Structure 1
Amino acid sequence: MRPETPFAPTAPAVRTAPAVLTARGLAKSVPTAAGQRRQLFAHVDLDLHAGDVAAITGESGVGKSTLLNLLAGLDQPDAGNVTIGGQALSGLNEAATTAIRCRHIGFVFQAFHVLPHLDLARNVALPLVLAGAAQGPALEAARAMLDQVGLAGRGSDHPAVLSGGELQRVAIARALVHRPPLVLADEPTGNLDPDTARRILDLLLASAQQAGSAVLIVTHSEAVAQAAGRALSLSASGLAPRAPGALGA
């Protein structure tokens, strides 16, 4: 098995502004086949500021992707609260939560979630269109973002003709096209070979830095965790600084 190529570590940001994301006391459980509840995690506290790059690792099944969904307002915690851009998510209806998500969050999914029936430009333009932008300017911004991620002139292509690395570039372009203050990435290099993974992570971090975004990455990759300015481990009792080499399964 090829060893992972280390990425250049990201320097911690200088914090001069309020947190982009604040989470306090998050807890989540899931139902079991026996009709009971299994606690995934509790007591999760987290602050992210503009320019921060943090990675979350942990054992399989501890709920890393679930935590990202809670932070994005895609799921509800059993306890605790999330604040994004100064706005608490608790108590908001779905329309208000969606509006905050459209303005403040870019999400990079592990399985890309690129829509097969739309060309690349329209895929990337979706966050702008959902936020109310006119189609013409949204498509123009999407094509410029595709240029930035190395897919210049590919806006009219469809996802079926792209490689895995190219699809992840599209996913990154879509997450960043509206210059969100917060980028959440779920295993963004998990489906890629090591060389492609390195290029994709470099691209994600460079593009997010250019936009001034905070970045939170869930990963099983030691190289990705080492590249973050802060590496955290999720367990049943919450988030804690990760010991070197302690990735989990």
Structure 2
Amino acid sequence: MLNVAGLVKAVPGGRTLFEGIDLALAAGEFVAVTGESGAGKSTLLNLIAGLDSPDAGMVSIDGTNIASLDDDGRTRLRRDHIGFVFQAFHVLPHLDLAHNVALPLALQGRDPQEALHAAETMLASVGLGGRGDAYPRELSGGELQRVAVARALVHGPGLILADEPTGNLDPDTAARTLALFVERVRDTGAAVVLVTHSRVAAAAADRELVLTPTGLVQRG
């Protein structure tokens, strides 16, 4: 599903953030990426998603080299193959929960009623059944993160990228949200790259990789 080879990225000013990043991930594999603040963990996710471009190296998703695609092609690849869970939720405040979750399906051109039905089903699976007509301002932080998880999974992507998905939550809410996230992604069989500072979150993955300036190093 995911193949990253020889990835290099520098920051403004010319300092190399990291180099020699290699990562292969099959369907159903779940890895956590940890490392010091400023190591480039979020940058790595953005490179994998095609939201940023590496200085060298290659990212391939489902057999497609991202570098071979134009902007529209990268947008379609993200739309069809990737689900992104952001630390800051990025739930749209002017849309109710059902339309927030249905957004990936709408972008795929799915029938609106089918998309909303799928969104309501996914909301129920994350413990928010019957809340589709509520608005983000009515929800707690933990509930908003569950909406973000539902939105990332609703279109059945093969690859889930999660950037500190429990970082803004209190410990109890974080634990519940993490358990729900793990359950849902296990059910879908998606490959997962989870960036986190949390030892608890990292322990939920099949393996933990530490991001260093010279590559990903397996912990333990």
Matches within 5 A, 1:131-170: 131-170=108-147
Q: Distance in 2 between matches of 1:231 and 1:171?
A: 23
SS state of the match for residue 157, structure 2?
Answer: coil
* Greater than 6 Å deviation, 4+ residue runs: none
Is 1:203 the equivalent of 2:180? yes
SS state of the match for residue 208, structure 2?
Answer: strand
Q: Distance in 1 between matches of 2:112 and 2:14?
A: 45
Alignment partner of 1:44 out of 1, 21, 28? 21
The residue type paired with residue 118 of structure 2 is A
TM-score, scaled to structure 1? 0.87
> What number of residue pairs does the alignment pair up?
220
Q: Distance in 2 between matches of 1:211 and 1:129?
A: 20
Superposed CA deviations along residues 40-66 of structure 1, whole A, max 9, x for unmatched, are: 111000011111110000111111000
SS state of the match for residue 68, structure 2?
Answer: coil
Identity of aligned residues (%): 60
> 2:193 maps to what in 1?
216
Deviation at 1:231, TM superposition (A): 0.2
The residue type paired with residue 223 of structure 1 is V
Q: Distance in 2 between matches of 1:146 and 1:185?
A: 18
CA RMSD across the alignment? 0.8
SS state of the match for residue 90, structure 1?
Answer: helix
Higher share of residues assigned helix: 2
> 1:28 maps to what in 2?
9
The residue type paired with residue 154 of structure 2 is V
Name stretches of at least 5 consecutive residues in structure 2 with no aligned partner: none
> 2:53 maps to what in 1?
76
TM-score, scaled to structure 2? 0.98
Q: Is this contact kept in 1: 2:2–2:25, CA < 8 A? A: yes
Q: Distance in 2 between matches of 1:60 and 1:174?
A: 27
Is 1:191 the equivalent of 2:168? yes
Q: Is this contact kept in 1: 2:34–2:196, CA < 8 A? A: yes
Q: Distance in 2 between matches of 1:86 and 1:107?
A: 19
Q: Is this contact kept in 1: 2:182–2:204, CA < 8 A? A: no
Deviation at 1:131, TM superposition (A): 1.2
Alignment partner of 1:108 out of 82, 85, 97? 85
Deviation at 1:227, TM superposition (A): 1.7
Deviation at 1:209, TM superposition (A): 1.1
Q: Distance in 1 between matches of 2:3 and 2:109?
A: 26
Q: Distance in 2 between matches of 1:165 and 1:69?
A: 24
The residue type paired with residue 29 of structure 1 is A
